[in-house]
Amino acid sequence: MLSLRRTVTVAVATSLAFAGLAVGASAEDVPDRAVGSPKGGPAVKAKVPDVARGIIVETTTGAPSDALLEATDDAVGDGVEVAADKPLLTNVSTVDFDEVVPADVAEDVANEISERSDVVWAVPNRLRQVQTQPPVTTNDTLFTAQHNLWNRGYTTNSKLGVPAGGGYSIKAPSLWRKTQGRATTVVAVIDTGILDHPDLPSSQRVPGADTYSSKALDNDGTPGRDNDPRDPGDWFTEGQCDFPGSSNSSWHGTFVAGQIAAATNNGAGIAAVAPNVKVQPIRALGRCGGWDSDIVDAMKWAAGIRVSGLADNANPAAVANLSLAGSPGTATQREAECKVFNAAAKLGKARGTLYVAAAGNDGGNANRVTPASCSEFVSVGATSINGFSAVYSNVGSTVDLSAPGGDSQVDPYRGSERAKGDIIWSLGNSGTRGPAQNGYVANEGTSMASPQVAGAAALLHGLGLTTPTQMRDALYASVTPFRARSSAYAKKAVGVDRYDINCTAPGRQWCGRGLLDLSRVQAPLTAPVISGRVIVGEPLRTSVGTWVRTPSAPRYTWKVAGVVKGTASVYWPTLADIGKAVTVTVAPSTSAFAKLSTTSTASAPVPAGPAVTLRGPSAQPRYGQAFTVTATVAGATGGTIRLLSDAGATFGTATVRSNGTASITVPAAAARRLKPGSTPFRAAYLGDTTTPPASSPRRGITVKKLSAKVSTRLRTKVKTSSRATLKVRVIDRPDVFAHPTGELRVYDGKKRIRIVRLSSSGGGKKSIRLPTLKKGTHKIKVYFRGNPYITSTYSAVRTIKAR
């Protein structure tokens, strides 16, 4: 299932390749991004040949039988033999050949073997290669050039829709106010291994492993698997690999690890996404790339699963980054490869590991790239400094989200002006073969985008979102929408070609859910603060506290002595709460962040107070009508009591009698402040020398609308050539509404013939010219639709004859 040798997904400006899109009819195909090219498409760099070292097979027998191995030997043909088999996953094994073969040969072998009754599926074991002013600042010398973390070039909104503060970066400093990660969080970097670098000291790492099993090409001094992840260099010369060409060492694993957890705020070099977490280097790639089986074992070991030949992992990773990719030729091949990668990822997920992978740098179809397109991985595309898709980044429906990867083709690097180039800075080394002088280098690619997402997942893990599903969902919720489609970027010139590098287009969004934006993490910075008098029956309110991003609809949980008592934004202590303290917890309603709650300091204990009750009025008052309620204060013989609304407004005041009762009258002037409907009130006893203060439970008092009367005047006869005038008067209580307003509808029988507005300037009166009436008798009536204070009603019917 695993395809060709995997390559690291790094694109270097001087050697950037734009591979054509995968061809074939499929719902997952994406449009060609090259538009208007004189050559009919993007320039294509010679690709690494697709090769395999054998097959990966799932059997019904647990391990390949001798008969299966013999059948494989026969299928591979003359000149190549089966050399060994080895367990890889449950019921899944590798069957290695004694030499590397073209991937299509291994594909034919796998297809033939798959026909056997003891085989569930079989795929080639392919080779993969590497793809290669903020709220918190650091004193790292290159931090101002790290536009991917925080872009100082964007500070305000512009006509282009640029987001304020940080532009189209991941805005890591926003979340740094809350966390820079925890030392107990481990991120595995499945890559080319690691160098000793002063900006990534041993204190930033935990022990790793070396799963690279190509003894013929391994140059680390101890060929084969061991627990030494040091990178000896992945350089190769002409003829060493199964494809033409040569290459200097990439130090790719060190670059990626530095992005995640380089020492930060140390006065030198770069800042990392999650500087307080630990990286775990796992060398699965070396000269010429790395085999799928080695990558799968690296995935397993990262999650704490035992792998033959390696000491057990004492520090299982919460997140594993795979900045590597391969592109099978067909959807069928991709589906087969995903079976292996998904099986390994599911094992790791069950142990708490989230896998993040680069979408690839072919400038084409991400839906054909493995492992990123497989369902158990978070697939990461790359964007530019301006928020558009990087011209090299693969796109498609399987991309989950994007992060800055640099795009020097669109915004070229400008020599020593480090702050202006669209590139990604991290750790490097000047050695072209073995390691030499440590330093800092700039690269671009989905390889650079993926570790930013892995680092972000590690930050979320440190906040308490510790399961792979929780981290994944929070990542998906921590994105800013892609900018609107730009016609200029739909035909962006890159060399002699033009490319559509928009992330949005009619009917599709091919760069994922959005651009990673850590300023959107709903994480609390300070606790809520309870305000109000801690008294029985009096409202306690709360602030939400400060947040990295304030929840738009926070959830509240009020507890008294640890018992949940309320979920509204206000809590009203009861007699049962006397002697107990109150706390409130505020949490986001967004499910991905629901665990990121914050709790107030406990209030003072609720003091003792009398039982206060509120009753009445005896009949529902109408709007503007005075009414009286009765309050009782247990044990009180005097003192003042008030009728208060939820907002604390006083509607009436009375003195408590010696028997503990009081009659509180709401005068007409105060009653006019109440809209018709139910309004909550409480009776607030202020206390006296012997009885402490307390308030009653809230009680709704319902106020009815005023009843209107509609009278009309209309002559009894009119000529068919003339128009009669209907005079209307709406009467309510003149002491409340002397000038009622509302809509008047005039009906002739059941037919509506006029609609007019009754304005306040008319004093409740309106003259309405009727339309000409046909010959005969007409029944005219008026419907007053009412308003928030006055009921709707009909007038009496007036008869008029037209002749």
The catalytic residue positions are: 191, 252, 447
In a 13 Å sphere around the CA of 201, the CA atoms on its Cβ side amount to 8
Task: Show the DSSP H helices in 415-545 as ranges.
Answer: 446-462, 468-477
CA 705 to chain centre: 47
Work out the burial of residue 565: count CB atoms within 10 Å of its CB; fewer than 13 is exposed, 13-18 middle, 19 or more buried. Answer: middle
Tell me the residue length of the chain: 803
CB 319 within 8 A of CB 247: no
Backbone dihedral angles phi then psi of residue 489, each to the nearest 5 degrees? -85, 0
Task: Dihedral sign for Cα 22, 26, 30, 36, please.
Answer: positive
Name residue 136's amino acid.
Answer: V
Q: 717 to each of 156, 726, 775, how far by Cα in Å?
A: 71, 12, 11
Q: 489 to each of 148, 386, 499, 517, how far by Cα in Å?
A: 20, 10, 8, 22
CB 100 within 8 A of CB 55: no
Query: Within a 10 A sphere around the Cβ of 316, how many other Cβ atoms?
Result: 20
Q: Measured in Å, how far apart are the chain's first and last C-alpha atoms? A: 93
Helix or strand holding residue 293 (H, E): helix 292-302
CA 735 to chain centre: 57
Q: Which long-range contacts (CB under 8 A, 24 or more apart) does 110-114 make?
A: 110/55, 110/57, 110/336, 112/71, 112/75, 113/55, 113/57, 113/68, 113/71, 113/72, 113/75
Name residue 783's amino acid.
Answer: Y
CB 395 within 8 A of CB 363: no
CB 27 within 8 A of CB 346: no
Query: Mind giving me the DSSP string for 153-211?
Result: T--S--TT-PPTTBTTS--HHHHHTT-S--TT-EEEEEES-B--BTTB-GGGB---EE-
CB 123 within 8 A of CB 340: yes
Bridge partners for 515 per DSSP: 402, 480
Q: Put residue 639 in one of left, alpha, beta given phi > 0 → left and psi -120 to 50 → alpha.
A: left
User: For residue 581, what are its two tokens?
Assistant: 């303290």
Instruction: State how far the Cα of 289 lies from the Cα of 135, in Å rounded to an integer.
Output: 40
Query: Within a 10 A sphere around the Cβ of 623, how many other Cβ atoms?
Result: 22
Backbone dihedral angles phi then psi of residue 457, each to the nearest 5 degrees? -60, -35
Task: Dihedral sign for Cα 599, 605, 611, 613, please.
Answer: negative
Instruction: State how far the Cα of 62 lies from the Cα of 89, in Å rounded to an integer.
Output: 10
Task: Show the DSSP H helices in 352-503 as ranges.
Answer: 446-462, 468-477
Q: Which long-range contacts (CB under 8 A, 24 or more apart) does 241-244 make?
A: 241/217, 241/287, 241/288, 241/289, 242/5, 242/49, 242/51, 242/100, 242/127, 242/288, 243/48, 243/49, 243/51, 243/288
CB 243 within 8 A of CB 100: no
CB 756 within 8 A of CB 768: yes
